[in-house]
């Protein structure tokens, strides 16, 4: 049985008796080496806890003209992203470098100077510090970030060198197995999403009866439609309203929850539906000012401005009185219109293709209300609209349940992975 001792670190507790505790600056040095003359061309980036290659040629517009201020790093270096600590609580902030290259100097690069330590073990240990939110103790107030001066006296666990290697080899093997299962689940989820998208496209453009005669719609990206259908414009089925001109609002109009109406934004539209998600609230006076954009159940919200333009969601229920912010328009169904079908159509590949055709704006993507009105939409009876919407509701619920199950399995794998790493790098379990 392993003899244990107190580590002196509250969130770790006891560690094996033969393990040591030492400061970061006794194990690492902060590595700074500017890429003078752009001599190193292998651009690297920290993404989801991995150091990956990033193409200089295909990333234009997002990168500087020169990389001479970037930091040259080498295999075995550990990179920490200690920026935006107060706002971003989800990112993985630690990566192990597996090839030489350059990375932004906004990140902190640690290089081992103690030969008694393994870079891979230290990566797993610092990854655990990251998962346990240790780094979020830094960067309070205006600064929002951490530096070498914040971490150099942070305490690290130091097992014997041979045990460090055993731990990292074991974790390499076990995490690879878990990552393989996770990748398979992610592939299955993508196939389900692709099937859902294909099903929606086929149903909203071809109908439910595969035996009916078909005719050319006259629209290349729609193709054939049932003989009884016609090609129409979206404005024949919905009235479209937006928050325009003087009816916009400022920070002075924003209030606390319970003091006004919800103002929906693009972030409230998730998986074809409008949901409560970090709601913004505006004053009742500002809400009452624009009755035409007051939201009702069955309305469809459509993103007309910003990076998520073309995204649509239906309002299935309301937790409070609500309106929209200037990035959205509300589509209110006319008589004999099933807004569920409108929503499915806008979220289909046909709806997305039309969004791409009508979007404008040189810096901020924008779709005008007039363009939305003129979007092509298949004309069919109200009864057929309802049948199609009922069918798609049933099928997408089934598909979404399968996706939800697989997402939960991925979440369980993530937790299992985190627990596995924590237990071994802190000596709770031994190799």
| Domain ranges, ordered by start, for the chain | 4-158, 230-379
What's this model's pTM, rounded to 2 decimal places?
Answer: 0.85
**Nearest alpha-carbon partner for 266 in 200, 310, 222:** 310
- With cut-offs at 50, 70 and 90, classify the pLDDT of residue 86: confident
For residues 125-140, average pLDDT: 88
Contacts 24+ apart (CB under 8 A), 191-199: 192/399, 192/402, 192/403, 192/406, 193/403, 195/399, 196/395, 196/396, 196/399, 196/400, 197/348, 197/349, 199/392, 199/395, 199/396, 199/399
Separation CA 249–CA 422 (nearest Å)? 48
Q: What is the pLDDT of residues 356-378, one digit of tens each?
A: 999 998 789 999 999 999 999 99
pLDDT at residue 312, as a whole number: 98
Three-class DSSP category at 6: strand
Separation CA 215–CA 343 (nearest Å)? 24
Whether residue 141 has pLDDT greater than 60: no
For residues 316-326, average pLDDT: 95
Q: What is the pLDDT of residues 105-126, one digit of tens each?
A: 999 999 999 888 999 999 999 9
Residues 53, 121 contacting (CB under 8 angstroms): no
Residues 241, 292 contacting (CB under 8 angstroms): yes
* Per CATH, domain 4-158 is 3.90.220.20: yes
Separation CA 136–CA 84 (nearest Å)? 10
Q: Pick left, alpha or beta for residue 223 (phi over 0 → left; psi -120 to 50 → alpha; otherwise beta).
A: left
Whether residue 60 has pLDDT greater than 50: no
Whether residue 57 has pLDDT greater than 70: no
Under DSSP, the state recorded for 43 is B
Q: What one-character-per-residue DSSP string does 322-370 give?
A: EEE-TTEEEEEE-TT--HHHHHHHHHSHHHHHHHHHH-B-SSS-B--HH
Whether residue 144 has pLDDT greater than 80: no
CATH fold of 230-379 reads Adenine-n6-DNA-methyltransferase TaqI; Chain A, domain 2 (3.90.220)
Alpha helices in 67-160 (DSSP H): 119-131, 148-151
Alpha helices in 160-298 (DSSP H): 161-206, 284-288
% helix / strand / coil in the chain, to the nearest 5? Answer: 40, 25, 40
Separation CA 121–CA 27 (nearest Å)? 12
Do 4-158 and 230-379 show the same overall fold? Answer: yes
Separation CA 393–CA 164 (nearest Å)? 53
Whether residue 59 has pLDDT greater than 60: no
């Amino acid at each position: 049985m392993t003899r244990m001792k107190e580590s002196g670190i509250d969130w770790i507790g006891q560690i094996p008796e033969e393990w040591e505790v030492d400061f970061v600056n006794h194990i690492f040095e902060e590595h700074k080496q500017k890429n003078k003359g752009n001599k190193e061309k292998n651009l690297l980036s920290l993404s989801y806890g991995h150091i990956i290659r990033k193409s200089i040629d295909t990333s234009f517009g997002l990168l500087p003209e020169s990389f001479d201020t970037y930091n040259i790093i080498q295999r075995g270096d550990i990179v920490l992203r200690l920026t935006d600590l107060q706002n971003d609580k989800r990112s993985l902030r630690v990566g192990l470098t597996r090839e030489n290259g350059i990375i932004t100097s906004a990140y902190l690069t640690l290089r081992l100077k103690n030969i008694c330590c393994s870079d891979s073990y230290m990566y797993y240990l610092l990854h655990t510090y990251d998962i346990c939110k240790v780094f979020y103790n830094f960067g309070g107030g205006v600064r929002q970030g951490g530096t070498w001066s914040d971490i150099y006296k942070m305490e690290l666990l130091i097992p014997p060198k041979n045990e460090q290697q055993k731990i990292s080899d074991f974790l390499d093997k076990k995490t690879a197995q878990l990552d393989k299962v996770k990748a398979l689940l992610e592939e299955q989820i993508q196939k389900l999403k692709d099937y859902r998208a294909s099903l929606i496209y086929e149903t909203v453009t071809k109908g439910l009866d595969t035996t009916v005669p078909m005719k050319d719609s006259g629209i290349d990206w729609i193709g054939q439609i049932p003989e009884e259908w016609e090609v129409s414009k979206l404005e024949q089925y919905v009235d479209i309203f937006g928050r325009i001109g003087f009816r916009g609002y400022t920070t002075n109009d924003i209030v606390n929850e319970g003091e006004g109406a919800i103002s929906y934004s693009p972030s409230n539209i998730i998986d074809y539906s409008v949901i409560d998600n970090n709601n913004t609230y505006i004053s009742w006076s500002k809400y009452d000012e624009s009755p035409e954009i007051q939201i009702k159940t069955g309305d469809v919200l459509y993103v007309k401005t910003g990076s998520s333009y073309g995204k649509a969601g239906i309002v299935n229920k309301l937790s409070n009185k609500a309106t929209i912010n200037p990035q959205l328009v509300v589509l209110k169904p006319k008589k004999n219109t099933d807004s569920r079908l409108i929503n499915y159509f806008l979220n289909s590949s046909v709806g997305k293709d039309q969004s791409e055709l009508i979007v404008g704006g040189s810096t901020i993507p924008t779709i005008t209300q007039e363009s939305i009105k003129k979007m092509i939409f298949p004309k069919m009876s109200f009864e057929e609209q309802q049948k199609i919407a009922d069918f798609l509701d049933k099928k997408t619920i089934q598909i979404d349940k399968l996706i939800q199950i697989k997402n939960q399995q991925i979440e369980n794998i993530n937790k299992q992975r985190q627990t596995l790493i924590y237990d071994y790098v802190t000596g709770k379990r031994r190799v």
